[in-house]
A and B are shown apart, each in its own frame.
Chain A
Amino acid sequence: DIQMTQSPSSLSASVGDRVTITCRASQSVTRFLNWYQHKSGEAPKLLISGASTLQTGVPSRFSGSGSGTEFTLTINSLHREDFATYFCQQSHGYPPTFGQGTKVEIK
């Protein structure tokens, strides 16, 4: 299975900060990398597919980049509603696998 490793596992940030989360794959997943946001008690939400394609309705302060084995999720100017857990997922190989998640907390 393709192993996905996110860093950091958690971070503290303030409203207005720029936040970057990294996801690394144990082998190339080309650009078949998705990002999700998960708030406790809610359904996880797909933010970005194909490494950089923002889903409809997702604010433009979210962006994704990367290819191969290294990817980043960037949140420009963090909003209060962005405090959540973010995780990556590869769809290059079966089974689909997930990163361990990055919890973004209020500083």
Chain B
Amino acid sequence: QVQLQESGPGLVKPSETLSLTCSVSGGSINSYYWSWIRQPPGRRLEWIGHLYSTGSPKYNPSLKGRVTLSGDTSKNHFSLELTSVTAADAAVYYCARHLRFYTDGWASAFDIWGRGTFVTVSS
């Protein structure tokens, strides 16, 4: 059974870089898409981006070039870096497997999630 676990600092200073890692157990990160999703307090979920085990990541344009996703198949984990953080970046950050499947066209769903990790932005 595939399980995901987010890890990283729970507190980041304004203007600094938020770095999180998602460790995947019970399965390989190869051959799947993997996403980061966040939920600021009181707001809806926001997709940050995804990456395939090999290949170029795809990002939400709303993050305006501040985000970088990367994967490490040797450690079976993938990571998020978000630069120049502000208070608006405080959120619960989730990693999820982004399953793509064909049904009258290419669809997708986040079929496995981590429990999330809360990141505060404060000096």
Contact = CB atoms under 8 A, between A and B. Distances in A.
Interface in B102-123: 103-105, 107-116
Chain A contact residues: helix, strand, loop or mixed: loop
Nearest to B100: A91
B109 A34 contact: yes
A5 to B, nearest CB: 10
A96 B110 CA distance: 10
A91 B104 contact: no
B62 A89 contact: no
A49 B116 CA distance: 22
A94 B58 contact: yes
B115 A42 contact: yes
Q: Which one of A49, A50, A96 has the greatest number of beta carbons of chain B within 10 Å?
A: A96
Nearest to B43: A100
A46 B109 contact: yes
Interface of A: 1, 30-32, 34, 36, 41-46, 49-50, 53, 55, 87, 89, 91, 94-101
